[in-house]
A and B are shown apart, each in its own frame.
Chain A
């Protein structure tokens, strides 16, 4: 149980284009999902917390107009990287909390999306 999927797993795009990454909780409902990015050999950096039916809460220094987050249902959150640039190349990981296990605060992680901007 508690499986989170991400799509795509890898994407290469040209500078200036937009890329959408989907995060789905497959066997549970998630009112809260998280988006992280991770550079090689560095820690996970929380970008934003996504709450179903409301606006995402962005961490300091993360441009909300560049990283658009939509959490339209209890099983789906999307991250759109708009006007991507090479410095946006990174490993993007989503995680989700099971609404029935909110008190445990455990986050279930998706497999990640490797974005390369050329």
Chain B
């Protein structure tokens, strides 16, 4: 079967760094997306990893290890507006996104 495992909720302090982990099991693999979703809104694209390693994009970085079925999203210099759900979504062999329930990130002042 296909499975995505992320923590349900995390709390961090404004200005700090937080790492959101994701492990996955899919039928085939064609890369992994991270999306941000604010409450009541649609997801917005953050990153796409298809090769192992770290991809850095401003305050956000995403890491992938295909052999371990593992990815993480690293958020630096946290801002209050970063409070949202973060969705890890691998692409399976049919190039379909497999969605988990996401990690709700709460930022405290």
Chain A residues within an 8 Å CB radius of B48: 104-106
Chain A, range 10-54, C-beta contacts under 8 Å to B: 41-46, 49
14 pairs, CB–CB < 8 Å, chain A vs chain B? A43-B99, A43-B102, A44-B87, A46-B96, A49-B96, A91-B40, A104-B48, A105-B48, A105-B95, A106-B33, A109-B43, A111-B41, A112-B40, A114-B40
For chain B, give the interface size range: 20 to 34
The answer to whether A105 and B31 touch (CB under 8 A), given A41-B101, A44-B99, is yes
Name the distance in Å between A93's Cβ and chain B's nearest Cβ: 5
Q: B28-56 interface mask toward A, CB cutoff 8 Å, 1 = contact, 0 = none?
A: 00110101000011111100100000000
Interface residues of B (CB under 8 A from A): 4, 30-31, 33, 35, 40-45, 48, 87, 91, 95-97, 99-102
Name the distance in Å between A111's Cβ and chain B's nearest Cβ: 5
We find that the number of chain A residues with CB closer than 8 angstroms to chain B is: 20
Q: Report Cα–Cα, A36/B50, bound state, in Å.
A: 24
The verdict on A107 contacting chain B, using a C-beta distance below 8 Å, is yes
